[in-house]
Structure 1
Amino acid sequence: MRESGHFSSIDSKILVGQENSEDAYFALHVTEKPSLTLDTALAFSTDQLLSVEFELEENNLFSSMLRLNTNLGIGLFWGRQSFISNKFVWPFIFGGPFRFSLQAPVIIYDDKTSQVEPFRRLQSKVIASLEWRASPILMPYLRYSLTHTLRENFPNDIVPEISTQEHIRSIDGLIPVLHAQGKIRGMIKPGISLINLDNPTDPHSGIDLNNFVELSGGPLVGDPFFINLGTQNKFYIPLGSTTLALQLSLMRAFITPSSNNWKELSEVSAMDNLGGDRRVRGYQEGAIRPAHAISDPGQYGGYLLNSSSIEWRFPLTSPELLGNFSGALFVDQGLVVECKNFVCGDHVSWNELVARKEFGLSVGVGIRYNLPVGPISLDFAYSPLHNDWRPHLQFGYAF
């Protein structure tokens, strides 16, 4: 009952019978927490712009300890992403350490017309997940997702300018996307995560590890078939009043490299272009991407993604005097290349790799104002390889 989180107090007593002192009774007194909550928030980042978000959560559905969570994000006209998501959670299956969740429907509209390869996309998803709480920090999981994607691409990567009236009539570009040809793809994802953080919104020490395999195609639904092996890791090391934060992601996907297959892969898997607010901050969102220069990738061809960051976070002011400001110095790097069989990146020289923006490096500084729910971050990142710099303003950390 304590693990369910539905009760504010749980007290137990042994009572002796009034008529017979040999009789004893076990009494349990519980006070239930309010189960229905509504939260509102404003989300902002340089890449996604502004979004108004609402979260409605029922933690004791039908008085059976089942959870229902509904999220709504409105970014039409003033942002680049809108979404609605419903999540049903059975937190303790038959009282055991297993948790089942079903997200249906999940509808996401992305306006990525600011990227190097611009597009608009509408995705509808159903996601089923089974998790095993092996320990307070260790959780193996198994997920299956079914995604229907509608995507509008732009010839020669040129987005036509439209009038304000056309912008409103098209509902921020959503109507043309609805006329695009759709495609359905299923994906199964077994994995294991290990999370042990002192503070989930502002970590000072701990680790966050996630290792997984993503498979799609054949009986799982989708063509062509692919396998993506991945690991995503974060480390937070306390150094007195400062924190050294590190992030490392490494993925290897097996699929015939081509422009269309890369789009298929990045639509549903963890593989994606790099750059933007959270990955290699010295570059425009999606700027670091494969060039597709291999003519014969072989039977085991595919893609390799490697991104890492190191960030030193330190206090700037005393919270009692000038507010809770902190600073940061960081270095990011990212690589997305094609593979010929089991060899990745050897088909081009280092200079070609940089010129094609398959590799990116950025250095930068940041200032944050720390709130109880997390920081407001302003980062300035510079790319010494491509002589470009970008500012990033967002809620939360990059990682």
Structure 2
Amino acid sequence: MLLGTLAVLGVGHAAPALADYRVDIESPRSLRKLLKDNLDLVRFAKRKDLSEEQFDFLLTAAPQQVKELVQTQGYFSPAVSTDVSREGDERTVTITVEPGPRTAIHSLNVAVTGPVQTEAPARVDASRNAFSLQPGAPFTQSDWTDAKSASLDALQAQRYLGARLTHSEARIDARTQQADLTVAYDSGPTFTLGPLSVSGVKRYPAWIVDHVNPLHVGEVYSRERIQELQRQIQNTPYYASVAIDVANDPQHPNEAPVSVKVSEFPYHNLRSGIGYSTDTGARVEGTYSYNNMFGRAWVLSTQGRLEQDSRYGSIQLAMPPDEKAYVNSALASYQSTDVEDTNIYSARFGVQRTRTLQFYDYAYSLIYHQDRLEQNVGPGEIAKALVPSFAWTRRDVDDPTFPRKGNLFGVELGFAVRNVLSDATFARVYSHGRQYFPLGKRDLVLLRAELGGVFSDSASRMIPASLRFRGGGAASIRGYGYQSVGNNVSGSVLPTKYLVTGGAEYQHWLNRDWGGAVFYDVGTAADVWRERRFYSGVGFGVRWRSPVGPVNLDLAYGLQNHSIRPYITLGVAF
């Protein structure tokens, strides 16, 4: 209404620059930005074509507009005054705001009706618990709106997709500065999921989506399950984006249609990147993939990576997911590393069968390893092994990118038999895990452990070096060089049969994005367990929740070698 009135009075038309002024606002700091950003008298001060008549209109309207703005923050009895002063050619408008006492919530009544009361009373509690405003808290319009949305969202998250807000009232008593809040929801019927329909398919067969679909026709609606479907689709190499919609008509809740709209990647994909880490130095890498080999959506991918102390290349041919969401593939790779005066040249060839689910990953593989190791003194080592193996990973965290609660665990099992394309008989076990414990609203404790063992009566040199273990570095024992903990022979650190590392870290977060940490790491790597020697390190660091994941900046002191080392890592959990 105000803007329309100003337009009638001539704002926007050519006019003499008659009104020239600035505005000072004297109010509590918490209100100042709100008034500066939204008060028309302030916003129009930048105009050079305001007439005196228009200025008088803005000045007259300002007190009422100030009252309306501060009421959104819970101040319903403000005192507002305006004063216009001149000093030379400069005119200053001073707006003084005494907001008065802030209105607090006196009572709250959240009512949830419908089948939810008998079918799933826990959903009623979830809806009420999600209502963030509670008696005694300050009342603001934005918090009131957000609380109603969050409460309704919690009700709709499971079973009751068609739930709706039926009544909302905030009764304000300006005399007592109290607010009585009433809100009511109707759950509506329980929704079940119907069949999938897929649109946007142009290059790849629609059955790929069906094969990775974890949902079942007739199961009760759950937002988490819809998000799981979205992740499963996006975990494939075929789709750039996925949008999922479930029909929410309360008149037709049974087997509600699920619509999936995909945007596909082109057949050819080329990606490259550069990076740096304190463990492996500068890095440049590139990946090329073709997603329609033989015209059957098989994926041919090649990767190359050049690091300061390492070179890596691989090629893989993968089939689309089968009806159980398993991906079968054949692969080959070659890697050479020069770390701690030890050169390792490792070639791998084999096949594997993998499946990625929301909480679990599975991998079955048959890989042939052939490694050559060169050291400072003595002859080089050449070892080969054909290793059937199984890998399993479990993720149970509250946030996959920035976890605060839960755990991550993985285990790998493999074996080789002498004379079956192998130089030695052995069994190999490797496991790693993390446990997150939240402390208060921001802080957390992180515990980390890693165990590895190659069990064999044969000498260590008869087992491929890439299947043995070394410790040290940002993700292992901080305070020591990358892979510097192992079997030291004349300055060359050789990989060993056994590995144990662990760490404890306390993180204190100053705000959402920045925090600090203190930590203690310990571990060992040895060929003969009774000859083990443990190494430990302590330190502190900075934590940053960056847009691409957690960034860790650490400074650690090795207690055994008395060295100080910095570390920079992008800390993706698993």
Using the size of structure 2 for normalisation, the TM-score is 0.50
Q: Which residue of 2 aligns with 1:276?
A: 473
Q: Which residue of 2 aligns with 1:88?
A: 317
Deviations 1:281-326 (A, max 9, x none): 112233322579xxxxxxxxx944221112223334x46xxxx433
Aligned residues: 323
After TM superposition, give the deviation of residue 274 of structure 1 in Å: 1.0
After TM superposition, give the deviation of residue 363 of structure 1 in Å: 1.1
User: CA-atom RMSD, angstroms?
Assistant: 3.4
Alpha-carbon separation, structure 2, partners of 1:219 and 1:138: 34
> In the alignment, is the contact (CA less than 8 A) between 1:188 and 1:220 conserved in 2?
no
> In the alignment, is the contact (CA less than 8 A) between 2:383 and 2:461 conserved in 1?
no
> In the alignment, is the contact (CA less than 8 A) between 2:542 and 2:553 conserved in 1?
yes
> In the alignment, is the contact (CA less than 8 A) between 1:279 and 1:398 conserved in 2?
no
> In the alignment, is the contact (CA less than 8 A) between 2:469 and 2:497 conserved in 1?
no
> Does residue 423 of structure 2 align to residue 223 of structure 1?
yes
Q: Which residue of 2 aligns with 1:176?
A: none
Q: Which residue of 1 aligns with 2:543?
A: 368
User: Aligned letter for 1:205?
Assistant: K
SS at match of 1:155: coil
After TM superposition, give the deviation of residue 334 of structure 1 in Å: 0.5
Q: Which has the higher helix share?
A: 2
User: Aligned letter for 2:447?
Assistant: L
The alpha-carbon distance between structure 1 residues 102 and 371, as it changes in their structure 2 partners (threshold 3 A), is farther
The alpha-carbon distance between structure 1 residues 256 and 90, as it changes in their structure 2 partners (threshold 3 A), is same
Q: Which residue of 1 aligns with 2:83?
A: none
Q: Which residue of 1 aligns with 2:330?
A: 102
1:236 alignment partner, one of 436, 446, 467: 436
Alpha-carbon separation, structure 2, partners of 1:12 and 1:314: 41
The alpha-carbon distance between structure 1 residues 369 and 11, as it changes in their structure 2 partners (threshold 3 A), is closer
Alpha-carbon separation, structure 2, partners of 1:73 and 1:90: 24
> Does residue 146 of structure 2 align to residue 146 of structure 1?
no
User: Aligned letter for 1:278?
Assistant: A
After TM superposition, give the deviation of residue 254 of structure 1 in Å: 1.5
2:265 alignment partner, one of 18, 21, 34: 34
> Does residue 522 of structure 2 align to residue 333 of structure 1?
yes
> In the alignment, is the contact (CA less than 8 A) between 1:4 and 1:65 conserved in 2?
no
After TM superposition, give the deviation of residue 68 of structure 1 in Å: 3.5
After TM superposition, give the deviation of residue 364 of structure 1 in Å: 1.0
Q: Which has the higher strand share?
A: 1
Alpha-carbon separation, structure 1, partners of 2:406 and 2:258: 40
Q: Which residue of 1 aligns with 2:286?
A: 54
> Does residue 407 of structure 2 align to residue 210 of structure 1?
no
The alpha-carbon distance between structure 1 residues 155 and 207, as it changes in their structure 2 partners (threshold 3 A), is same
> In the alignment, is the contact (CA less than 8 A) between 1:246 and 1:309 conserved in 2?
yes
Using the size of structure 1 for normalisation, the TM-score is 0.69
Q: Which residue of 1 aligns with 2:304?
A: 72
> In the alignment, is the contact (CA less than 8 A) between 1:51 and 1:82 conserved in 2?
no
Higher relative contact order (CA 8 A, sep 6+): 1
The alpha-carbon distance between structure 1 residues 29 and 209, as it changes in their structure 2 partners (threshold 3 A), is closer
The alpha-carbon distance between structure 1 residues 32 and 214, as it changes in their structure 2 partners (threshold 3 A), is same
After TM superposition, give the deviation of residue 279 of structure 1 in Å: 0.9
> In the alignment, is the contact (CA less than 8 A) between 1:291 and 1:337 conserved in 2?
no
Alpha-carbon separation, structure 1, partners of 2:264 and 2:305: 27
After TM superposition, give the deviation of residue 199 of structure 1 in Å: 4.2
1:119 alignment partner, one of 332, 342, 349: 342
The alpha-carbon distance between structure 1 residues 148 and 278, as it changes in their structure 2 partners (threshold 3 A), is same
The alpha-carbon distance between structure 1 residues 245 and 57, as it changes in their structure 2 partners (threshold 3 A), is farther
SS at match of 1:328: strand
SS at match of 1:228: strand
Identity of aligned residues (%): 20
5+ residue gaps, structure 2, are 1-208, 214-231, 248-256, 490-495
Q: Which residue of 2 aligns with 1:174?
A: none
Alpha-carbon separation, structure 2, partners of 1:251 and 1:182: 22
SS at match of 1:126: strand
Deviations 1:333-363 (A, max 9, x none): 1023445xxxx42xx5xxxx5xxxx211111
